[in-house]
């Protein structure tokens, strides 16, 4: 007899189908599904078929990603897709020598970034690869807005993304309250990066627990006092009673 | 340490803060690229490949990007930076310099398509915009400054068909001052001249600013090294003579000047003496000019005498001088003192 009704491997998926998880918005559930990040520590082949280098015959090939470990501290920094590559290596790169455990870790630097949209200076732990990505995206704000959730791989990054998107969509005087000219310039610069409605932007980058809490807040309503309900019921009954009694009119 | 990333963001959501941009030094990149030693067997389509927990974890280092040569980054300058360029230039700088200095201080921007478009518009405005809207470029300003202080000397070649016209002046500008002036940007006060003298011309820089440059046609000097050496020796000799003669004639010149101050007419002997003294001390060209000037202006003889006296005293000071001291009595309207 099996131990569980459903295999533990599908428990996570099943959990999302019942209770408050089922009432979460659909766009959020789609965003939370894990996708493959862009390969950072390995080179993908990119093609399905190729000619075998030895025999010359056509063969099917597949990309096998290298498993990377993302430690919890990577979520409070912007590591740009890097993580710890842990495995083995052969000493002197020779197959016949010892097999040694090896962990490759990225080089972390504390850098200060200025965000135009949020008008604030952040000190974030980044890797040199992140700095290159920021240059390639022509700015820190562009990098945060353009990179997808799986490539950013950081809770801080997604929180920044959510804050920037909301500030751009809301168009209040939070951004540069004293300088409307600069505000307009910043809006025009980044307006192409936000093309989702504000309702969806509020859910960008929330973890499952945060999303559940947000849904709970939305569905929450104050319990109505029983006194009110009873009073209304009584009023109803009296009204019906009065209508059912025959109306006596005295003729003048 | 409230400025760590996440807490800072939370604080931001509560209250606004002012921002200051600053970056720190950025060392080389360090991303490790590995590949597997042992090949992973192909799996069926739609299924993930089955990995051996040990064999397929043995990696070989393919590339450590920190070993790769450092690449430079491309930026567009928004202000004049020494050793790099002026506003609008696309330069290649080291990543450290760009991220630490240029970008945080706002001296440069990334070469995104929008930024490039903006700078192209600026250049277009410079060329085709209305004259009021156009702004002089930095190189244009520097050229104007140089031209204001320059004086063009054209040697009168000993040829019959020698004449100074626009093309000659353009070429002389390029050769003597190193400034390229196209013919349409140059306007002369004359059509063409053959005699020696002082003239002036106007140069239009970038179609916006007009600078008046004094022009003088000087007698021919053989530019060969031998002649120049002889000339130098002659000048030194003349200066030595003048040192001796000037001391004696100083008194005489002063007396003559007093007489001239009393007598309003008959300054010919004074002038001659003054001229002689000046010619002893100075170069021949200047003397010739003075004589010609004095001959032309008989009315302002008093002025010329005063100037000759001044010239004498100046010559006495510069005993071994070889620079010509030619007071410009028929001076063209020049903007500032001529270039040495």
User: B212: exposed, middle or buried (C-beta count within 10 Å: 0-12, 13-18, 19+)?
Assistant: middle
Contacts of A39 (CB under 8 A, 6+ apart): A63, A65, A66
What is the C-alpha separation between A48 and A248, in angstroms, rounded?
A: 93
Nearest to A186 by CA among A168, A161, A204: A168
Q: From residue A81, how far is each of A222, B166, B274, B309 by CA, in Å?
A: 44, 66, 89, 85
> Which chain B residues are within 8 Å of A40, Cβ to Cβ?
31
CB contact under 8 A, A163 and B12: yes
Structure-block tokens of residue A59: 């063969």
The pLDDT value given to residue B272 = 56
Q: Confirm if A205 and A10 have CB atoms less than 8 A apart.
A: no
CB contact under 8 A, A85 and B34: yes
Contacts of A224 (CB under 8 A, 6+ apart): none
- Chain B residue closest in CA terms to A40: B33
What is the C-alpha separation between A138 and B194, in angstroms, rounded?
A: 61
Positions of chain B with pLDDT under 70: 1-29, 129-136, 257, 260-340
Instruction: Give the one of B17, B20, B57 whose C-beta lies nearest to A87's C-beta.
Output: B57
CB contact under 8 A, B73 and A131: no
> Which chain A residues are within 8 Å of B18, Cβ to Cβ?
119
The pLDDT value given to residue B270 = 53
Cβ-Cβ contacts under 8 Å between A and B: the total is 143
Task: Calculate how close chain B gets to A94, using CA atoms only, in Å.
Answer: 10
- Chain B residue closest in CA terms to A117: B19
What is the C-alpha separation between A191 and A194, in angstroms, rounded?
A: 6
**In which element (H, E) is residue B116 found?**
helix B113-128
What is the C-alpha separation between B215 and A136, in angstroms, rounded?
A: 54
Q: How many CB atoms lie within 10 A of CB B84?
A: 16
B93–chain A Cβ distance below 8 A for any pair: no
Residue with tokens 């930024």: B115
Q: From residue A32, how far is each of A13, A68, A88, A202, B46 by CA, in Å?
A: 12, 19, 32, 14, 21
Q: Provide the total of helices (H) and of strands (E) in chain B, helices listed first.
A: 9, 9
B140–chain A Cβ distance below 8 A for any pair: no
> Which chain A residues are within 8 Å of B110, Cβ to Cβ?
135, 138-139
- A17-49: b (≥16 Cβ within 10 Å) or e: eeeeeeebbeebbebeeeeebeebbbeeeeeee
Instruction: Give the one of B8, B26, B57 whose C-beta lies nearest to A128's C-beta.
Output: B26
CB contact under 8 A, A41 and B28: no
Chain A interface disruption, residue of B1, B3, B5, B93, most A CBs within 10 A: B5
Positions of chain A with pLDDT under 70: none
- Chain A residue closest in CA terms to B71: A132
Structure-block tokens of residue B59: 């990696």
Nearest to B109 by CA among B125, B94, B91: B91
> Which chain B residues are within 8 Å of A102, Cβ to Cβ?
59
Task: Calculate how close chain B gets to A42, using CA atoms only, in Å.
Answer: 5
Task: Calculate how close chain B gets to A216, using CA atoms only, in Å.
Answer: 21
Of all residues in chain A, the percent with pLDDT exceeding 70 is 100
B162–chain A Cβ distance below 8 A for any pair: no
Structure-block tokens of residue A234: 């009584």
> Which chain A residues are within 8 Å of B24, Cβ to Cβ?
109-112
- Chain A residue closest in CA terms to B19: A120
Residues 98-117, chain B, touching A (beta carbon < 8 A): 98-99, 104, 110-112, 114-115
The pLDDT value given to residue B261 = 63
Instruction: Give the one of B30, B59, B112 whose C-beta lies nearest to A138's C-beta.
Output: B112
């Amino acid at each position: 007899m099996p131990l569980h009704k459903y295999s533990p491997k599908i428990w996570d998926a099943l959990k999302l189908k019942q209770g408050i998880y089922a009432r979460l918005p659909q766009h959020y559930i789609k965003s939370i599904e894990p996708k493959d990040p862009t390969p950072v520590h390995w080179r993908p082949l990119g093609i399905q078929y190729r000619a075998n280098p030895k025999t010359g015959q056509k063969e099917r090939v597949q990309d096998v990603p290298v498993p990377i470990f993302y430690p919890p501290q990577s979520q409070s920094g912007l590591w740009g897709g890097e993580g710890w590559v842990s495995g083995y290596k052969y000493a002197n790169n020779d197959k016949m020598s010892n097999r040694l455990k090896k962990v490759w870790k990225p080089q972390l630097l504390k850098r200060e970034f200025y965000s135009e949209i949020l008008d604030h200076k952040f000190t974030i732990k980044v890797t040199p690869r992140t700095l290159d990505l920021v240059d390639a995206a022509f700015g820190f704000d562009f990098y945060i807005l353009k990179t997808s959730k799986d490539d950013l791989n950081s809770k801080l990054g997604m929180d920044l993304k959510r804050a920037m998107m909301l500030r751009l969509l809301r168009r209040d005087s939070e951004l540069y309250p004293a300088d409307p000219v600069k505000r307009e310039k910043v809006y025009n610069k980044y307006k192409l990066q936000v093309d989702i409605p504000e309702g969806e932007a509020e859910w960008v980058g929330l973890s499952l627990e945060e999303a559940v809490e947000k849904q709970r807040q939305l569905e929450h309503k104050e319990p109505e006092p029983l006194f009110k309900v009873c009073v209304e019921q009584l009023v109803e009954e009296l009204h019906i009673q009065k209508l059912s009694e025959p109306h006596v009119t005295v003729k003048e | 340490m409230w400025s760590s990333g996440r807490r800072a963001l939370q604080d931001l959501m509560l209250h606004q803060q002012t921002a200051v941009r600053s970056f720190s030094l950025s060392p080389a990149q360090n991303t490790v690229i590995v590949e597997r030693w042992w090949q992973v067997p192909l799996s069926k389509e739609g299924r993930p490949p089955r990995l051996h927990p040990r064999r397929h974890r043995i990696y070989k280092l393919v590339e450590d990007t920190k070993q790769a040569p450092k690449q430079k980054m491309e930026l567009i300058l928004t202000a004049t930076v020494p050793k790099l360029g002026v506003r609008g230039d696309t330069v290649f700088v080291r990543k450290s310099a760009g991220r630490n200095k240029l970008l945080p201080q706002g001296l440069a921007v990334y070469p995104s398509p929008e930024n490039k478009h903006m700078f192209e518009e600026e250049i277009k405005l410079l060329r085709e915009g209305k004259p009021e809207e156009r702004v002089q470029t930095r190189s244009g300003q520097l050229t104007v400054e140089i031209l204001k202080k320059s004086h063009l000397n054209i040697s009168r070649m000993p040829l019959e068909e020698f004449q100074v016209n626009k093309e000659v002046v353009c070429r002389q500008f390029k050769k003597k001052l190193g400034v390229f002036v196209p013919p349409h940007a140059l306007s002369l006060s004359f059509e063409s001249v053959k005699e020696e003298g002082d003239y002036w011309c106007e140069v239009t820089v970038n179609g916006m600013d007009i600078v008046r440059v004094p022009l003088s046609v000087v007698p021919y000097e053989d530019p060969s090294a031998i002649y120049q050496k002889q000339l130098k020796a002659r000048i030194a000799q003349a200066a030595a003579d003048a040192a001796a003669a000037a001391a004696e004639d100083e008194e005489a010149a002063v007396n003559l000047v007093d007489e001239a101050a009393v007598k309003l007419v008959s300054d010919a002997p004074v002038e001659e003496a003054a001229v002689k003294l000046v010619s002893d001390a100075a170069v021949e060209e200047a003397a010739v000019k003075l004589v010609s000037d004095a001959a032309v202006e008989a009315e302002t003889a008093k002025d010329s005498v005063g100037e000759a006296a001044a010239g004498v005293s100046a010559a006495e000071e510069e005993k071994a001088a070889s620079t010509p001291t030619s007071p410009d009595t028929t001076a063209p309207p020049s903007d500032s003192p001529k270039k040495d």
